[in-house]
Structure 1
């Protein structure tokens, strides 16, 4: 029987059970880097970081692919990565098993395969060779002459075949498209090529593949998305398909315009983690009126990878499969899990052989099935969202946000018309400045929660969509989740102190008001991953060379705001509010000890006497009672109890 504190808990795998989770079983991530190798991508220019070194856009793209693979070896060893190059005349090698389906002038440099150190080292050797000879990439992957280009429809078709042959069916599949050509099909016949590209892209997305473009834009050659890609790439925002204007570039999905090529890796790392839905449930707007939504976690803690057990089979090592089973000690046989019941473990009844048993009174239910335990927790509800009503946005207070929120988005595949209805509800709530109140149950083994449904308007900048349109699902606290702070007296700083503080805060603020989380990784996790990476690639790891980017740069802080900090401290010391609010210091008493509070009331003594529990009192308490009654109070505890009993018995 499960212990007392675990009697009403179901197994972890059942706790994570989701509604309609068939499409969420994508534990593996597959990325295909689709890199343009045209003349402009291979054109050399001075490296912005290193002196007297030349580089090119194709090198930066391959280097970013290498860095992503090295990182995934540690954080996602089960994932798969491939590299497809297009606009190159390199011939297809049959040894790479590319087959005849890969279109002409497309070359698979790395087929889709699980991550491995030898494959990454091969790419590192290619990049090192380019550093020694800048013509290395052009010699290995010669571009098409006279500015000719592969039709983008052929590129998407080749991507589809590469992913079809190498990617698992249940994996999340993505294509990172990297190019600097904003109009690859300029000239006659462009309209047919645009139609072909859009058709093949639809085939690619219907196969479960997401295309994430990375457009390289420079001052000499700005990238104009309206020339070609705005009419080819599918819209990913909340816009009705009937309202799409082919000449309007605003329907472009999430795309990255790389104004500086050195930002390519940073942008790729941001898009590296696949957007996996945490749940997919129905959203009931009214009786008989339901749409489908998906929920995403915007903030997730990155942790160390789980350890695995390996079995030494002599010639090879294999991962051991871990399975939990329950065994009946009396029968020495495995218990059928569906027949298990749950109950609280209590003290034994009867002799010692009956320890762990109890007497069940008629009409009582001591044990419950797993379904009954789940019904206690879920109140018999199925995973869903139910709209209860609307409130003004102003009624949502800051202290109401006690847990991290989730972000919900429409799921058109579950309920047809969800996207259109979701968009209409969002626009109406934004217009009226309202928020929704919903009853939320996101998992089968969770508890129902009241949540605030806060709409978010879509905001865009030059680099693509930054804030997508959707709803934030904020769990609302119950009455006992928020307590008043035990503050009796408070004080506020004067305007002079505020101005002095504002001066040094402005000097030390993050640039552009944005915090880049990738620039400050968790030092413990980064140190752990660096050791694993060195081990995987056979490199030496120097602990002294590890840099903790989260350590404050004290010298820089003092240089920028040292004098301002000193002025602020002086202003605080001279502020009357701060001086008056400071508690008066008391000199600590030396050589004194606090005496324990042993006094008890006479009523409590009489109550203990009536219950026969005088032995529960301490010797000091018994002595104080006898002393107050003028009775002798010397001797052992048994003598003291006898005198108290004699006194109270004579009253």
Structure 2
């Protein structure tokens, strides 16, 4: 049996971001539903929506699609993005790349109407069929080259479709027709029923109206009734122009997924070692379920991957261990005979300690031997909020929220504990074990009350902030910044993403990416330009005075007898290559 000595295999495998890598990552899906009416294709937009290269409503919607998909390619490349054209006469699907959107956006209005067709806005259209088509795309995502074909729809899907389930599903409807069904009550009822069906299926529908010149979009005519059960419908008509502007100005930023990091039990009484079973879980304990969310994570450059160039596919790397004879030459390679392969269960890891090596079996390194406390949050006690200092924040805090899926009644227990902490202005101290095999950490649970805006919509959720408390050696003097450094884009990452985007979209080399970390020299010149010039002139005069003084001293030294003697000595020894320096005596 071969022994492998590794000095770092016992190190803690804690994830600094707080995200569990063992949990399956669900993919998000979004569909851009574009209403291709004749006015949407040809009419000009108002000044609030008009931007360069997007004169019509359709081009504006396609610009939003392109920018959103570019951002998705950076933030989460595995998410699904699709485009559905509504009120068209073509039943054809083929859009393997995002470059197809650019071709569509560069088409003229007459060319688009000739190729794909469009229907007038005054004509009644069954909106429920468009919503049904989007729901079908979400529920039946499978590998098929030609995608989906439905009547009066033109569908585009830009990702490779495979059989998997989607997590967060959204539909963004871009339209300039505030009453697509007209006076047909049957079509309106069917659309409302289909919208209710979408909500029950976990699909979120959002309407983004595109205003035309001399035309006002009234949300309450049709879409207000369609979305009357949405939880945040009150915030939809307030600032729709800003919503589209945010989509257009959305740059390449790495956005973390807003899903829970883990689901854990919250023990009201600490679980001791005697309460643990052989599987490492408590047998009987008073606890309720909570979910952990990661609010802040550092943005890092993505790791490079190996690709097979002819097929542009990922290369899978497999590591295998083979037996090596003691008399084998170290530079002749290893015999890859299947008989010499070492299985993973036969490997033994070791740690060098002095002149001896300590070996460990795989069962000893699985994490169970280090499981002193059950996985979860163990409540220890309470402290006043004034005892929690700002410098106790050792790392990025997490957010704790109740989870009814883990234990029924968790919301009631959680709300009771939160209300008591808010009323008495105290925070909880607990032991935190996020995953099996991790050591317990001392944390502070800081309560946070719910906040509502003017429209009675929630802007701050209620819950606990999980703050990691430091040890004595972690406490040091820090200068807290007064600004918000997380709002400054990383120039290195922006340059990296710009080069990747230019390479993928076959664009020329990107221009210089603006570096917002550099000082604003223009503003400095406007505010303190005269003072800086006066200070520089003063330094220049001082430097010139010192230069004159040094030159006068050099002349005196040059005429001293010792210096002349040294010069004569150099001239008398032409074969000498060394310089002789004589310091004058005073």
* Interval of TM-score (by shorter of Structure 1 and Structure 2): 0.5 to 0.7
TM-score in terms of structure 1 length: 0.60
- Determine if the alignment matches structure 1 residue 277 to structure 2 residue 260: yes
- Determine if the alignment matches structure 1 residue 453 to structure 2 residue 445: yes
Which stretch shows the higher mean deviation, 217-226 or 272-281? 217-226
Measure how far apart 1:441 and its partner are.
Answer: 1.0
CA deviation map 1:272-300 (0-9, x unaligned): 75323322222234574433332222222
Q: 1:408 aligns with which of 397, 400, 408?
A: 400
1:607 matched residue in structure 2: none
1:125 matched residue in structure 2: 103
Q: Which has the higher helix share?
A: 1
Measure how far apart 1:344 and its partner are.
Answer: 2.0
Q: Give unmatched runs, 5+ long, in structure 2.
A: 142-160, 270-283, 327-334, 536-586
TM-score in terms of structure 2 length: 0.66
**What is the alpha-carbon distance in structure 2 between the residues aligned to residue 263 and residue 134 of structure 1?**
29
Confirm or deny: 8 A CA contact 1:32 1:84 kept in the other structure. yes
- Determine if the alignment matches structure 1 residue 30 to structure 2 residue 5: no
Change (3 A) 1:71 1:231: closer
Q: 1:386 aligns with which of 371, 378, 384?
A: 378
- Determine if the alignment matches structure 1 residue 60 to structure 2 residue 60: yes
Instruction: State the secondary structure of the residue aligned to 2:245.
Output: helix
Q: 2:466 aligns with which of 447, 454, 473?
A: 473
Q: Counterparts of 1:571-650 in structure 2 under 5 Å?
A: none
Q: Give unmatched runs, 5+ long, in structure 1.
A: 97-108, 111-115, 237-248, 349-356, 359-364, 488-504, 570-651
**What is the alpha-carbon distance in structure 1 between the residues aligned to residue 518 and residue 114 of structure 2?**
43
Instruction: State the secondary structure of the residue aligned to 1:403.
Output: coil
Confirm or deny: 8 A CA contact 1:223 1:257 kept in the other structure. no
**What is the alpha-carbon distance in structure 1 between the residues aligned to residue 207 and residue 322 of structure 2?**
55
Instruction: State the secondary structure of the residue aligned to 2:444.
Output: strand
CA deviation map 1:255-278 (0-9, x unaligned): 984446423334698897532332
Q: 2:367 aligns with which of 371, 374, 380?
A: 374
- Determine if the alignment matches structure 1 residue 177 to structure 2 residue 172: yes
**What is the alpha-carbon distance in structure 1 between the residues aligned to residue 345 and residue 11 of structure 2?**
15
Confirm or deny: 8 A CA contact 2:32 2:171 kept in the other structure. yes
Measure how far apart 1:169 and its partner are.
Answer: 1.8
CA deviation map 1:438-471 (0-9, x unaligned): 2211122322111111222333447965433332
**What is the alpha-carbon distance in structure 2 between the residues aligned to residue 452 and residue 173 of structure 1?**
31
Which stretch shows the higher mean deviation, 465-474 or 395-404? 465-474
Confirm or deny: 8 A CA contact 2:256 2:297 kept in the other structure. no
The CA RMSD measured in Å over matched residues stands at 4.6
Which stretch shows the higher mean deviation, 399-408 or 261-270? 261-270
Q: Counterparts of 1:209-358 in structure 2 under 5 Å?
A: 210-211=203-204, 213=206, 215-216=208-209, 221=217, 227-228=224-225, 231-233=228-230, 235=231, 257-259=240-242, 261-266=244-249, 274-286=257-269, 288-311=285-308, 316=311, 318-330=313-325, 333-348=340-355
Measure how far apart 1:124 and its partner are.
Answer: 0.4
Instruction: State the secondary structure of the residue aligned to 1:374.
Output: coil
**What is the alpha-carbon distance in structure 1 between the residues aligned to residue 74 and residue 475 of structure 2?**
41
Change (3 A) 1:256 1:65: farther
Change (3 A) 1:277 1:186: farther
**What is the alpha-carbon distance in structure 2 between the residues aligned to residue 422 and residue 184 of structure 1?**
46
Confirm or deny: 8 A CA contact 2:297 2:396 kept in the other structure. no
CA deviation map 1:363-419 (0-9, x unaligned): xx853544456245442x342122233332222110111111112333333333434
Confirm or deny: 8 A CA contact 1:46 1:54 kept in the other structure. no
**What is the alpha-carbon distance in structure 1 between the residues aligned to residue 57 and residue 244 of structure 2?**
7
2:528 matched residue in structure 1: 562
**What is the alpha-carbon distance in structure 2 between the residues aligned to residue 303 and residue 557 of structure 1?**
31
1:532 matched residue in structure 2: 500
Structure with bigger RCO (C-alpha 8 Å, 6+ apart): 2
Instruction: State the secondary structure of the residue aligned to 2:98.
Output: helix
Change (3 A) 1:529 1:127: same
2:7 matched residue in structure 1: 5
1:626 matched residue in structure 2: none
**What is the alpha-carbon distance in structure 2 between the residues aligned to residue 342 and residue 40 of structure 1?**
70
Q: Counterparts of 1:465-544 in structure 2 under 5 Å?
A: 465-483=458-476, 517=487, 520-542=488-510, 544=511
